């Protein structure tokens, strides 16, 4: 039979070691709880109480971000966020994150995909759609999509990019450019005639 004997010093050391183990275990559990709470923490938009239930909510969401949408074109569909992401979808999620949200928490879940035309960023050649992804009445991501072509643009990039001119504005700008050129040429001709007159020479027709 094996008998373990310990003096008072050994007992004190054993007690200190046990106490350290309890403290360490408690610290690890607290850190794990903190990480779990962080993962479950709502996004900035969710904490602000934004809820999407009607087309008016869609308009208010994009209006708050400097984008006006045509609610008469609003439509909703259901899409599923894939569980496994390839590099293309990861890049897409980076675009979505510009709205202050992301899709990582919603892998494998079905979300509503709301779309509405964005006239200020549409032209005669392309149509821009504002897209808002919603999960249980809460916005989880947004971006702009241009057709044809399917180009996607994050909200931050959209805010930093001037809206394209529509066909009427482009025509007016082109006409303005032509008029400005004619005015500049007329001014140059007038200056040339004045210089020739001062030199006593006749301008050549």
- Nearest to 66, CA basis, from 27, 13, 120, 29: 120
- Average pLDDT in the 49-71 region? 92
- Flag whether pLDDT at 93 surpasses 60: yes
16 or 82: which leads in pLDDT: 82
Strand ranges of the sheet holding 127-135, from the earlier edge strand across to the other edge: 70-80, 110-117, 127-135, 138-147, 151-153
The predicted pLDDT at position 162 comes to: 72
- In sequence order, what are the beta bridge partners of 135? 138
159 or 105: which leads in pLDDT: 105
Centroid of chain to Cα 29 = 35
Name every residue whose Cβ is closer than 8 Å to that of residue 148 and which is 6 or more positions away in sequence.
126
Let me know how long the chain is.
205
Phi-psi region of 71 (alpha: psi -120 to 50; beta: other; left: phi over 0): alpha
The predicted pLDDT at position 160 comes to: 84
H helical segments located in the chain: 8-40, 44-47, 55-63, 87-96, 155-160, 167-199
Q: Each residue of 6-18: pLDDT tens digit?
A: 455 554 554 544 4
56 or 178: which leads in pLDDT: 56
For the chain, what is the mean pLDDT?
73
Which band of pLDDT confidence, cut at 50, 70 and 90, is reported for residue 80? very high
Q: Each residue of 129-180: pLDDT tens digit?
A: 999 999 999 999 999 999 888 889 999 988 887 765 455 544 544 555 555 5
The predicted pLDDT at position 50 comes to: 85
Q: Each residue of 12-43: pLDDT tens digit?
A: 554 544 444 444 444 444 444 444 443 333 34
- Flag whether pLDDT at 89 surpasses 70: yes
First-last CA distance in the chain: 128
Pairing of strands 70-80, 110-117: antiparallel
């Amino acid at each position: 039979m094996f008998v373990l004997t310990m003096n008072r010093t050994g007992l004190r050391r054993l007690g200190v070691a046990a106490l350290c183990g309890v403290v360490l275990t408690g610290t690890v559990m607290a850190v794990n709880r903190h990480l779990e709470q962080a993962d479950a923490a709502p996004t900035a938009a969710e904490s602000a109480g934004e809820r999407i239930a009607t087309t008016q909510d869609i308009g208010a969401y994009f209006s708050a971000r400097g984008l006006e949408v045509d609610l008469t074109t609003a439509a909703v569909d259901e899409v599923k966020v894939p569980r496994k992401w390839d590099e293309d979808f990861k890049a897409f999620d980076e675009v979505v994150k510009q709205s202050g949200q992301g899709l990582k928490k919603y892998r494998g879940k079905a979300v509503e995909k709301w779309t509405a035309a964005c006239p200020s960023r549409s032209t005669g050649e392309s149509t821009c759609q504002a897209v808002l992804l919603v999960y249980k009445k809460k916005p989880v991501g947004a971006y702009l999509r241009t057709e044809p072509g399917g180009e996607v643009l994050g909200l931050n990039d959209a805010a930093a990019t001037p809206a394209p001119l529509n066909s009427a504005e482009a025509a007016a700008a082109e006409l303005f450019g032509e008029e400005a050129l004619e005015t500049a040429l007329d001014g140059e001709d007038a200056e040339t005639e004045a210089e020739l007159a001062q030199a006593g020479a006749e301008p050549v027709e």
